[in-house]
Amino acid sequence: MPDRGGGPTGPRMRVGRPSRRVRTLLMTLGVLAVLGMAFTMFAGFWTDWLWYRSVNYSSVFTTTLWTKIGLFSVFGLLMALAVGFNIWLAHRLRPPLSAMSVEQQSLDRYRMGIAPYKRWLLLGITALVGLIAGASAAGQWRTWLMWVNGVSFGQKDPQFHLDVSFFAFDLPWYRFLLGFGFAATILSLIAAALTHYLYGGLRVTSPGARATAAATGHLSVLLGVFVTLKAVAYWLDRYGLAVKSSDFKATDNWTGLRYVDANAYLPAKTILFCIAVICALLFFATLWRRTWQLPVIGFGLMVLSAILIGGLYPAIVQKFQVQPNEQAKEAPYVEKNLKATREAYGIDGAQVTEYTGTSTTKDKTQLRDDVDATASIRVLDPNIVSPTYQQLQQMRKYYAFPTNLDVDRYNISGSDEDTVIGLRELNLAGVDKQNWINNHFRYTHGYGVVAAKGTTADSEGRPVFTESNLPSEGDLGTYEQRVYYGEKTTTYSIVGGPQKEIDYSDDSGEKTTSYTGKSGVNLSNPVNRAAYAVAFGEPQILYSGAIGEGSRILYNRTPKDRVEAVAPWLTIDGDAYPAVVDGKIQWIVDAYTTTNGYPYASRTTLGDTTADSLTATNDNRAVVAQQNQVNYIRNSVKATVDAYTGEVKLYQWDTEDPVLKTWMKAFPGTVEPKSDISTSLMAHLRYPQDLFKVQRELLSRYHVKDATTFLSGSEVWQVPDDPSNKSGDAVPPYYLSMKMPDQQAQAFSLTTTFTPNGRDNLSAFMAVDSEAGTSGYGKIRILKLPTSTTVDGPKQVQSQFNSEQDIAESIRLLKGGDSDIEYGNLLTVPLDGGLLYVEPVYVRGGGLKYPLLKKVLVTYGGNTAFEDTLDEALNKVFGAQSTTPPEDEGDTTTPPSSTNPTVQEALDDAQKAFTAGQEALKKGDWEAYGKAQKDLEAALKRAEAAQDEADKSANKASSSPSPSATPSSGSGGAKASSSPSPSSSPSSSPSG
C-alpha cells in the first residue's frame, strides 16, 4: 500500500534542452515583456498621480489609493490564509495508508503527479483566490470609507428605532463582511473536501467508512462556520427589511416593511436565527462525537423551517389576513413610507394649493397688464436655437455651440433678465487639415460667450444678442474669453511650448497665442512624456519637436469629467452650464450625494427618472449616476470649473446633509465652506434640473399625505410627454422668471406640469424657486387642479393649436416650399386662476439652415392667438394692449405704441404690406411688389405722424420726459413688450 506523502522514485529521463542562444533570446523577450507590462501599469498610475496633483486634489488620489491597497491586502491575505490553511490542514490530516480499491489506485496517480509541486500548487491556489478576493474588496472602498467615517443622521427609523446612519453606512459594510465570510468558508470547504478526497480522507466508492474521523471533524467545523454565518445573515435580514424593495400595487420600488414583513417575516427571521445557532452548535459538536447524524438532522430542520416559517407562513398571513382588509392592515406602514420618502427626497416641504384652473375675472382686458407682472415669458427656446447661434455667431468652422444652450439670468441695465447663453467651443471636426499637430497643438480652445435676450427676438426672428462677435463684446464686460475646458472638449491638447496656438481670426488675419495658465501636466520631464506616450497610445509625445520647455498636456477637459474625477463619491447633474463671473468664464456643475439605505423611503432609478425628450437626443444631458437606484438624494455640492485654467472648486451647499459630512471626513479639505461662495457666483447658482426631475417623479405619487388616498391610486399623476415633438419622452422642465399666486414678485423658477395617470388633461402645475441666495430658494409649490372639472393639459393645448383652421392654414403657408416648422418650449403660466400657455414657433425656410422665430402661439381661457410676436398674440387673446411702461428705460408714462390705436393700425397695415411684398417677390410679380412697397411707405408715414401726435399728447399729460425710442410693433417676450428695442422699430421691422 503506497505512502500518502511520497512521490515517484528512480532515475529521471533526460529531456532535450534548447540551445543557450535560444534560451538567452527567450529570457530576453520574457524580461522585456515583463518590463513592458510593468511600465504600462506604472504609466497609468503615474499619469493619474500627476493629473490629481495638477488640480490640487492629490489627497483624493492618495486616500482612494491607500484605501484600495489596504482593502486589497487585508482581505486578499485573509482569503489566501483561510483557503491555504484549510488545504494544509486537510493534507496534514490525511490518513497514512489508503484502502485497496480501484478508486484509490486511480487517485494514487494524481497524488504522485503533484507530489513534487505541492508547495507551488498551494502557493498558486492561495495567491489566485487572494488576488480575486482582494480585487473584489478593493471595489468596496466607498463602503469602507462611509462606515469608518459615518455621521449620525439625527433621525431614527420607525421600526427598530436605530439611527438612519446604521442603514446607510453600517449595514452595507456588515453585509460585505458577511458575503466575504461566506465566500471564504465555501472556498475553504471546497478546497478541504477536494484535498481530503485526493488523499483518502473522503471516499466515494471505497469499502469502509466514507470519511475519516479527522476529515469529519474538519469539514464539520467548516459547515458549522457556514451555518453560524447564516445565523448572522438571518439577524441582519431583520434590519434589511427596512430597506428592502418589493412589488406593491401602491407604487413601484416600494421600500420598507409592510404588514406581512412586520408580523410574519420579522418574527420568522428571529426564529430562524435561533435555529441556525443551535444547528451550528451541533456541527461544532462533531469534534467530540465524530458523527454526522445530529448535524444533518439539525441542518434539515433548518432548511425545512426556512421553507415553512420563512416562506409558507408569510404567504398565509398575506392571503388570509392582509388581502381581505388590505387598506386597514397596510395603512400604518404606508404612512411610514410616505413620511420617509418625502423626507429622503427633500419634498416634505412641498406646498400643495388648490387651484381652480379658470379665470375669476370676467373682463379679460384687465389681465393684459397682469401678464407682464406675472412672468417674463421666454420665447427663445435654448433647445431650438443652437443652430441659429451656430449660423450667426460660429465665425469659424472650428467653433461650435452645444446642442442645447442654457438659460441664466444677468443684470442688464439694472434689472435681471433671462438670458440664453452658450460658449463658442472648439470643434476639431471643422478643422480643414486633420493631423496630429493641428488637432493637439494648434487648435486647442474655443473663444468667447454668445448670449441673447430670452424674452425677445428681432424683426427677422433672430436672437437679440447681448454678447456677440469675435472677440465677444456686449453687456457682459471684460473677461477671459479663451475656452480650454468645455462640454465639447473631449480630446487632449499640448500647450505652452514652442508650438503657437491659433487664438482667433479677424479681418487682419489669424491671431496666435500661447497658454499661460498653470493647468495640465508639465511634459518637460522625459519620464512624464514616456508615461503619457504609453497611457495615450501616442508615441509622438515621446519624441516630437513640438514639445519643449513649458509644454503642458491638458486632458479630462469636460466639466463633468473633472468634477467626477476629483469627487468620485458624488453623482453629477447632467447639465453643466457656463456663467461669466468676476472676469472669468466658470462652468457651474451641480452634484449630489445619494444613498439607497434610507429606511422606508421608496427607491427610484436615476437614469430613468432624469430622462426626458432632451436627454434622449443629447448624451451630454444624461445624469452620471454611481448608484443607479437611490432612495435619498441631496444637492449637497455646487462645483465650478474655470474654462481657462480648469481649476475645480467644490462648495458645500447643503450644510445639514450627513452623507456630505461623512465624505468630508473621509476627504478633508476637498470641499470649501458655503460661506466662500462669492456674491457674484451666487447670482448664477440655480436649482438643478436632475434633482427637480427626480422630485417631480416622486411627487406624482407622494403629493398625497394620507395612506387611504395613496393606496386607492386615485390621485396618481404622471409627467406628460413633450407635446412639441413626437419623441414620446417626458417633457423637460423649463426655467422661467415668474411668480406663483402666493408670491409678490417674479422669481427665477423651474416649472413643470402633471396630468392624471393615463389621461391628457391637466392635474397640477409645479414650480420651485430657483433663485439661489434667497430665502425662498428650493421651495416647491404645486397648484392642484380640481378633479371634478377638466382643464386642458399640454398635449390637448398643442392639439388645439394644430386643429384650429386659421392656425392650421397659417402653418401650412409657413411650411410652403422646403420650409420646416419647429415648435419651441410650451410654457405654462398661472394667471388669475387660469393657465396661460405660450409656445414659440420657428421656421427653417428656403436656403436657411437655422430656425427663426416667426410666430407665437398663445391660449388662455379658451381664446387662442397665432401672431408674429408675443405682444400681438397677448393683445389678441385678452382683447387689449399692454399699458405697462418700459421697465428698462425707467419711464413712468404709457408708451404711445401701446395706447394709441392709430399707430397700431398703421403698423398693422405696414406689416400686411411687407408680407404682400415678400409673397410677390417669391412669385416674381414685380408689379405687385412695387405696389406693396408704396403701401408700405404710406403706412410707415401714417405711423410716424400718429406717433408724433401721441408724443405731443404725452408731453402735455406728464411732467416727465417721454422716451425717445421708436415705437415697436411688438417683439416676443413680456419684458420686450414693455420695452421696445430699436431693432423692432416700425422703420426696420417690415423692411427687414
What is the DSSP code string of 828-888? EEEETTEEEEEEEEEEE-TT--S-EEEEEEEEETTEEEEESSHHHHHHHHHTS------GG
Per-residue pLDDT of 255-266, as tens digits, reads 999 999 999 999
Whether the CA torsion 325, 330, 331, 332 is positive or negative: it is positive
Can you give the pLDDT at residue 980?
34
For residue 985, give the nearest of 887, 924, 907 by alpha carbon: 907
Contact 600, 157 (CB under 8 A): yes
Q: How far apart are CA 169 and CA 165, in angstroms?
A: 5
For residue 397, give the nearest of 358, 430, 421, 370 by alpha carbon: 430
Contact 819, 842 (CB under 8 A): no
Grid cell for residue 374:
406675472
Can you give the pLDDT at residue 506?
79
Name the pLDDT band for 898 (thresholds 50, 70, 90).
very low
Per-residue pLDDT of 424-453, as tens digits, reads 999 999 998 999 999 999 999 999 999 999
Name the pLDDT band for 953 (thresholds 50, 70, 90).
low
Q: Which helix (H) or strand (E) holds 138?
A: helix 118-138
For residue 660, give the nearest of 641, 638, 642, 686 by alpha carbon: 638
Can you give the pLDDT at residue 847?
65
Look at the pTM and tell me if it is higher than 0.75.
yes
Q: How far apart are CA 496 and CA 552, in angstroms?
A: 6
Measured in degrees and rounded to the nearest 5, phi and psi for residue 50 equal -65, -40
Name the pLDDT band for 820 (thresholds 50, 70, 90).
confident
Cα separations in angstroms, 870 against 383, 440, 489, 753:
19, 46, 37, 22
Name the pLDDT band for 487 (thresholds 50, 70, 90).
very high
Mean pLDDT is lowest, of 74-83, 117-126, 528-537, 801-810, for 801-810
Question: Measured in whole angstroms, how far is the alpha carbon of residue 603 from the centre of its chain?
Answer: 16
Residue 185 has pLDDT above 60, yes or no: yes
Per-residue pLDDT of 347-365, as tens digits, reads 999 999 999 988 877 777 8
Name the pLDDT band for 982 (thresholds 50, 70, 90).
very low
For residue 972, give the nearest of 879, 872, 905, 866 by alpha carbon: 872
Can you give the pLDDT at residue 97?
61
Mean pLDDT, rounded, for 699-704: 93
Bridge pairing between strands 571-572 and 717-718? unpaired
Cα separations in angstroms, 874 against 368, 885, 990:
7, 16, 20
Question: Measured in whole angstroms, how far is the alpha carbon of residue 791 from the centre of its chain?
Answer: 32
Residue 87 DSSP SS3: helix
Q: Which helix (H) or strand (E) holds 225?
A: helix 213-240
Average pLDDT, the chain: 84
Can you give the pLDDT at residue 382?
92
Per-residue pLDDT of 855-871, as tens digits, reads 999 999 888 899 999 99
